[in-house]
Amino acid sequence: MKELKKGFMIVLTGVLLCCTTGCWDKNELNELAIGELVGADQDPDTGKQIVYYQIVNPEAVAVQKGGGIKAPVYTYCVQADNISELGTKTANLLPRKLFSDHYQAEIVTERYAQQGMNSLLNFFEKQHNRRSNLYLFITDSPLTDVMMTYLPLERLPGRSLRSIIDIQSQLTGRLSKRVRVKDLVENMESSMLMVIPMISLSGSSPSPSTNRYEQIDANQGNLIFSGGAVFKHDRMIGKLKLNQMNYYFILKGESEVFMESLTIHNRKVGVRAINPKVRRRLEIVSGEPVWTVDISTKLSLVNNEQQEALTLENLKIIEEKFKQQVLQKTTEFYQESIRRGWDLFGLEEKFKYQSGKEWDDMKKRGIGWDKTKIHLSIKSEITDIGQTINPYMGGK
């Protein structure tokens, strides 16, 4: 009986296996041109679409056993009169089928971003294999130089750019991971602005040869994070400085960490805010719109150059200095954005959906989102002072 049952199960398993389709449509690796990074530009005079594809060289990415250094990526440039023709032009140039599912990042030139990227984004969204979660960057350097340079340490440029996002969001708070293509598309139909990271090529020239891997100077010919591009809908309308980025993301409530450098007793003190909690609400105070932002966080001392002992009184001084400095700089940043007419925090949308007699009366008086004042409160406490309490005094 047991043998009969066992035989039946074997036959049933065989029948079920025959019904499976398997990987009948698979592509061999040597048939694919695996895209790793893409760059886009548009000639403002001719309207020509210019696209750069960085294609992975699998043999070079794998562990090399002698034979010298091979190019980890190859860059192809394709130009077409319109976006629809790019596919045909690309097929004429690439000896393999373009595989875009592994795109890591997309770089767009500043001039293209200022013209408006509506056609590019609409084309991108129509593709079934689109990678809407890839990170988006704007560059103020020539795109040819950016796409024709090899980077040190991390040999795949697209992966290197993704690492910049991850590291900056975790260690400095100057970037958020919500800077993907999908995040820009989500704000296309709203009044809310968005900030996309800007990158620049350091040094006077790119590094198009693998000889750069034999050079010790990693700064020259490298891509560096240089600030933020402010977008309204699909168009770049301005820039944020590098030192403004952390205040933007803390007010957005997207900071994983927040760094601030203080001067206390004429000495530098570095403070890190860990996982700051941000509560935001729009309300009416004395007949005027007020955006209230409450920030609470625990602080960690990452550097303390004071020559004084780290007493409880000294810790209170550091906490108070942190509070006052962040209040001042964040308020100044907010006020500057209002003066420029930049709705960086979605206040116009919030304003639009407020209801009630007070809100109606205020709107009748012509008071809009751009008249909204900010009220900040910061609650912080130092919970980590590092491995040493008091500084070494040496022979003093």
Give the mean pLDDT per block of 10 residues along the chain (396 residues). Answer: 54 51 55 90 91 87 60 92 86 86 91 92 72 87 93 89 91 90 86 93 84 86 93 95 95 93 93 94 92 96 88 93 96 96 92 88 87 95 82 66
Is 294 strand, coil or helix? Answer: strand
What pLDDT does 24 receive?
43
Q: Alpha-carbon distance 335 to 252, whole Å?
A: 15
Q: Alpha-carbon distance 275 to 254, whole Å?
A: 9
What pLDDT does 22 receive?
45
Dihedral-angle region of residue 314 (phi above 0 means left; psi in -120 to 50 means alpha; beta otherwise) = alpha
What pLDDT does 130 receive?
62
At 145, list the tokens: 């130089």
> What residue type is assigned to position 333 of the chain?
F
- The residue among 368, 378, 351, 137 whose CA lies nearest residue 247 is 378
**213 touches 150 (CB < 8 A):** yes
pTM value > 0.75: yes
CATH number for the domain formed by residue range(s) 246-387: 3.30.300.210
What pLDDT does 328 receive?
96
> What residue type is assigned to position 133 of the chain?
N
Is 30 strand, coil or helix? Answer: helix
Torsion over CA of 16, 19, 24 and 25, rounded to 10 degrees? -110
Q: In terms of DSSP H, where are the helices of the chain?
A: 2-19, 58-61, 86-93, 110-115, 118-126, 143-147, 157-171, 181-186, 245-252, 312-339, 347-352, 357-364
What pLDDT does 181 receive?
87
What pLDDT does 122 receive?
81
**179 touches 167 (CB < 8 A):** no
Dihedral-angle region of residue 253 (phi above 0 means left; psi in -120 to 50 means alpha; beta otherwise) = left
Contacts of 82 (CB under 8 A, 6+ apart): 47, 49
Q: Alpha-carbon distance 311 to 298, whole Å?
A: 18
Sorted by where each begins, the domain ranges of the chain are: 29-240, 246-387
Tell me the pairing of strands 105-109 and 135-139. parallel
